[in-house]
Amino acid sequence: MTDLSFDDSPRLPAGFRCASIHCGIKPSGGDLALFASDIPGAAAGVFTKSLVPGAPVVVGRELIRPGCLQAVVVNSGVSNVGTGTDGILRARRMGVAAARELGIAPELVLMSSTGVIGVPLPVERIEGAMPELVAELQHDPMRGAEGIMTTDTYPKAISLAVGSGALTLVAKGSGMIEPNMATMLCYVMTDAALEPSELDAVLRRVVDETLNMVSVDTDTSTSDTCVAIANGRRGPVPRAVFESALGAALTRMAEMLARDGEGASRLLRVTVRRAADDGEARLIAKSLVNSPLVKTMVHGGDPNVGRILMAVGKCIDCRVDPARLVATISGVTVFGGGGLTDFDESKVRTLLGMDCVDLGVELGLGEGEAQAWGCDLTSGYITENAAYYSS
């Protein structure tokens, strides 16, 4: 995957356009976005596993079933969650409004909402703004990315070549981010031709190893959605080629989302190897990226290695042998042979101060591997979230 390179300026695949405008849900900034293909495409999606899913997730699960979509309309500011049957109605109206303006069937438009929970979606405002939104459709994916931001510090879009066409991702993240689907909103567009079932299988497998391994704060959103549309404009690509490109793109996006977690000052990347199996490797990797004491250690730059042991040790459903455990901080072995190594503390301090900190754990038990992405825990996270509702 590593030889796949991203475009310097993200572009949209053939046949796709996007738009974002301010329609007045938020006090300022883009709050309504649209991603649309000029023809229907194969589609697949994964959604939050939350037991209190937002209305757009409930409706989206229905819409994705036939495996065909042409557009996604997204608002930020209000998430349309905890809004009962009235919320379902408003979600549908939002999709219908976009479909009408695009001149396509309503079942081809999926909708997403992100923002405050429990507030009625101001759907009249969205309906009123639809002509303006569709008129804005153009070719820069950053425009769409701007329209779906909440607490992100910058808009996120990436693209790369796949076969003779392109693969583009637009996403938002920041807080209330830990898997169980993915996390966040992420739209995958490609002009490659794939069968819906093929797209679905590839998307699920890749999301599971990328977006599902990102955690900013252990809190699973009620609105998580990752939807892919393949309009086939550039013809078929071998499944393996598409899967490699999607893997590289979602890995990169996972890192961007983790690094831009609320209040984060560093990316925390955890690699677990030689675990008893992949499932246990995933649990241990997640335990490390989620531990407040590991996250504050990374923030403070203090090599308190015991916290790595602690975070491994608390995975009580996994197999761990402390005598075989080897732990590294950005390549430096800090624990092994049952005890702390005689590592160079000032060097490790410097490494902990870098923009990306790599923690590695080898269990010495089997072939299980996993990678997870998170960020440090800072006062910025507290400040941002102690007052999010009022802002």
Nearer to its own copies, 25 or 377 (CB): 377
What is the smallest separation between the CB atom of 36 and its own copies, expressed in angstroms?
30
Q: Which of 302, 297, 326, 26 is nearest to 150 (CA)?
A: 26
CB of 371 to its own copies, least distance (A): 21
User: Please, what is the minimum distance in Å from the beta carbon of residue 286 to its own copies?
Assistant: 12
46-to-144, 179, 313, 342 alpha-carbon distances in Å? 20, 11, 32, 46
Of residues 174 and 371, the one with the C-beta less far from its own copies: 174
Closer CB to its own copies, 48 or 190, in the complex: 48
Q: How far separated are the first and last CA of the chain, in Å rounded?
A: 41
Pick the catalytic residue from 48, 151, 168, 183: 183
Taking the complex as a whole, how short is the minimal distance between the CB of residue 83 and its own copies, in angstroms?
A: 6
Distance CA 356, CA 344 (A): 19
In the residue annotation, 333 being an active-site residue is answered as no
State which residue, 218 or 244, has the beta carbon closest to its own copies. 218
For the bound state, the minimum distance from the C-beta of residue 117 to its own copies, rounded and expressed in Å, comes to 2
> Which of residues 135 and 354 has its CB atom nearest to its own copies in the complex?
354
**Whole-number Å distance between alpha carbons of 91 and 301:** 45
Q: What is the dihedral of CA 370, 371, 373, 378, to 10 degrees?
A: 80
CB of 365 to its own copies, least distance (A): 12
Whichever of 119 and 356 has its CB closer to its own copies, that residue is: 119
Annotated catalytic residues are 183
